[in-house]
Amino acid sequence: MTEEIIIAGFGGQGVLSMGKILAYSGVMQNKEVSWMPSYGPEMRGGTANVTVIISDERISSPILNSYDTAIILNQQSMDKFEKTVKPGGLLIYDPNGLTRFPERKDINIYSIEAADEAARQGLSKIFNMVVLGGFLKLKPLVAPEYIHKGLEKSLPARHHALIPENEKAIEIGKSLLKAVHLVQ
């Protein structure tokens, strides 16, 4: 099993930390992982993305140009990464703020209204965990107990009291998915 994922959005949406928690959870479950962020001028332009690979085998290139899954959280990222999903692959997006929606017919597309729901429930700061929940519902690569361990490892000790809230956000995300287009 190898899952190649791109997570992309605005800086501040928690894109990099979502990737880190997913990657650390993979480590806890004894998977091979790599986490390759955009950095430098790309980050300063306001967009952030991270390539996360989780695998049972040694990982070759940490940098890819096509992905099994794209998790897309803003318009620029939709424009850049919709076309990079492998045929038959998965695209998850939050429609909040989007003006152009994905059009491909050869991939599975789900929307998740994570930003709105997180705001309603007072969980805006961990909106990224809502999105992660949606992804894990569709691709349960890592078992919940390892997500817990991944959160423990990724978050500084002073934030460990917030782990239950993060896990709640993940659960909320699992119920928010809407299928937009499914490959037959």
Partner 1 sequence: MGELKLMKGNEAVAEAAIRAGCDGYFGYPITPQSEVMEYLMAEKPFERTGMVVLQAESEVAAINMLYGGAGTGKMVMTSSSSPGISLMQEGISYMAGAELPALIVNIVRGGPGLGTIQPSQADYFQAVKGGGHGDYKLLVLAPASVQEMCDHVKLGFDKAYQYRTPVMILSDGAIGQMMEKVVLFDQIPRRTDEEVIAQCPWASNGRPQTRNHNIITSLDLDPAGQERVNLKLQAKYKLMEQHEVLYEEIQCEDAEYLFVAFGLSARICQKAIDLARAKGIKVGLFRPITLFPFPVTEVSNVGNRVKGILVVEMNAGQMIEDVKLSVGCKVKIEHFGRFGGIIPSPDEVVRALEQKIIGG
List residues binding partner 1 (CB under 8 A). Answer: 20, 23-24, 27, 32-37, 39-41, 59-65, 153
Between 37 and 95, whose beta carbon lies closer to partner 1? Answer: 37
Task: Give the burial class of 145: count Cβ atoms within 10 A of its Cβ; 0-12 exposed, 13-18 middle, 19 or more buried.
Answer: exposed
Cβ-based nearer residue to partner 1, 32 or 171 = 32
Judged by beta carbon, residue 47 or residue 111, the one nearer partner 1 is: 47
How far apart are CB 60 and partner 1 at their closest, in Å?
3
Q: Between residues 111 and 154, which has the closer beta carbon with respect to partner 1?
A: 154
What single DSSP character describes residue 61?
-
Q: Measured from the CB of residue 31, what is the shortest distance to partner 1 in angstroms?
A: 8
Measured CA to CA, the distance from residue 74 to residue 174 in angstroms comes to: 20
Shortest distance, CB of residue 176 to partner 1, whole angstroms?
28
Q: Give the integer Cα–Cα distance in Å for 158 and 81.
A: 35
* Cα separation, 53 vs 90, whole angstroms: 15
In the complex, minimum distance from the CB of residue 175 to partner 1, in angstroms, rounded to a whole number: 29
Identify the CA nearest to 72 among candidates 51, 94, 53: 94
